[in-house]
Amino acid sequence: MNALGSILVPVDASPRSLLRLQLAQALARQDAAAPAAVDVLYAVTPSYLEQPFALADTAIAALAALQELDIQRRNAARKRFDEANAGARPPMRWHELTDENVVDGTARRGLLADLLLLGQHDPDPKQASGVPADFVESVLIASGRPGLVLPYTGRFDTLGLRPLIAWKPAREAAHALSAALPLLRRAPQIHLVAEAEAGGSHGTTPAQAVQAYLRLQGVAAPVTTHVPIDGIAPGEGLLSLAADVGADLLVMGCYGHSRARELVLGGASRTLLRSMTLPVLMSH
């Protein structure tokens, strides 16, 4: 991917949606000559589906209250969009899901986006926003598109100045690396940790092969290589290394699959989506 042409930003009523909208605009303007189009999708599960007891004959008042809650959530999201969109060049475009499942509808609209800008699930029940807990991983796996996932807490004043690439010889990591190229080309410094490749790598190490690929793709920044941290789980090791090098972006594959109706994630992906401390660009 040579440049970002289109960005899809699913939003809900949570205040963190505003941060994703602001970041989407900043990413869209990176190429001043050809700014990316930003589509904003309000995608939440209606409250009566989250709490089906409200459909009982004795719960008409509760149903009305849930419908009013949905209106308030939607209006709050729209207000944040209007604030972020005021004066935006180019302006962002607002869309809403209606009768579709939020995962299926978002994944379908994401098929033609270069990047999805997503938010980590907040486990605090007070922050319930109508988005399933497994929304991020489900959309990434269903769409196959790269996603930039922001943690549910903290501010991130830089993005991509000190990226950490987590490489393993797998298609998921390759997709993530390719999707990150527009950011990597602007980075003044890059960190790389590479998993050993079974059977060797034709005279070069995996880290050397990745560096050669980056140079061919116009990435000129110096690359500092690291070895995986022994003795701890891979996901925890990546977070520890990211903190040690001061990384402001982690680039990695999203490993997992759907089995019947169960979403099965790899250990590192599960750890990162639960405990991320920095933005993560992932792809399945």
pLDDT in tens, 251-279: 999 988 765 455 677 788 888 899 999 99
Question: For 123-132, 156-165, 268-277, which range has the lowest pLDDT when averaged over its residues?
Answer: 123-132
Task: Give the angle subtended at the CA of 270 by the CAs of 243 and 232, to the nearest 5°.
Answer: 50
Q: What does pTM read for this prediction?
A: 0.90
Q: What is the share, in percent, of the chain residues with pLDDT greater than 70?
A: 89
In this predicted structure, the answer to whether residue 58 has a pLDDT above a threshold of 60 is: no
- Write out the residue limits of the CATH 3.40.50.620 domain(s) in the chain: 6-150, 163-283
* pLDDT for residue 200: 54
- 9-18, 73-82, 195-204 — which is least confidently predicted? 195-204
Which comes out higher in pLDDT, residue 73 or 57? 73
pLDDT value of position 32: 82
Q: What is the pLDDT of residue 8?
A: 98
| 163-283 CATH choice from 3.30.565.60, 3.20.20.150, 3.40.50.620, 3.50.50.60 | 3.40.50.620
Longest dimension (CA), the chain: 72
Phi/psi for 169 (5° steps) reads: -75, 75
Percent of the chain at pLDDT > 90 equals 64
Lowest-pLDDT range of 32-36, 56-60, 94-98, 190-194 = 56-60
* Domain 6-150 CATH class label: alpha beta
Confidence of residue 126 (pLDDT cuts 50, 70, 90): confident
pLDDT value for 204: 83
Residue 46 in this model has a pLDDT that exceeds 80: yes
pLDDT digits (tens, 9 = 90+) for 77-93: 999 999 999 988 889 99
Integer-rounded Cα radius of gyration of the chain: 20
Residue 245 host element (H or E) = helix 234-245
Compute CA distances 11 → 24, 69, 158, whole Å. 12, 16, 22
Q: How confident is the model at residue 1 (pLDDT cuts 50, 70, 90)?
A: very low
Kindly report the backbone phi and psi dihedral angles of residue 252, in degrees, each rounded to the nearest multiple of 5, phi listed first.
-160, 165
> What order of strands is seen across the sheet that includes strand 37-42?
93-96, 37-42, 6-11, 115-119, 147-150, 280-283, 249-253, 163-167, 190-194, 223-226
pLDDT at residue 65 in the model: 79
State residue 266's pLDDT score: 77
Q: What is the mean pLDDT of residues 85-112?
A: 93
Q: Which of 107-111, 171-175, 257-261 has the lowest mean pLDDT?
A: 257-261
Q: Higher confidence at residue 145 or residue 64? A: 145
Mean pLDDT score, 136-154? 94
Predicted pLDDT at 177: 97
Task: Look up residue 122 and give its two tokens.
Answer: 């907040």
pLDDT of 162 reads 97
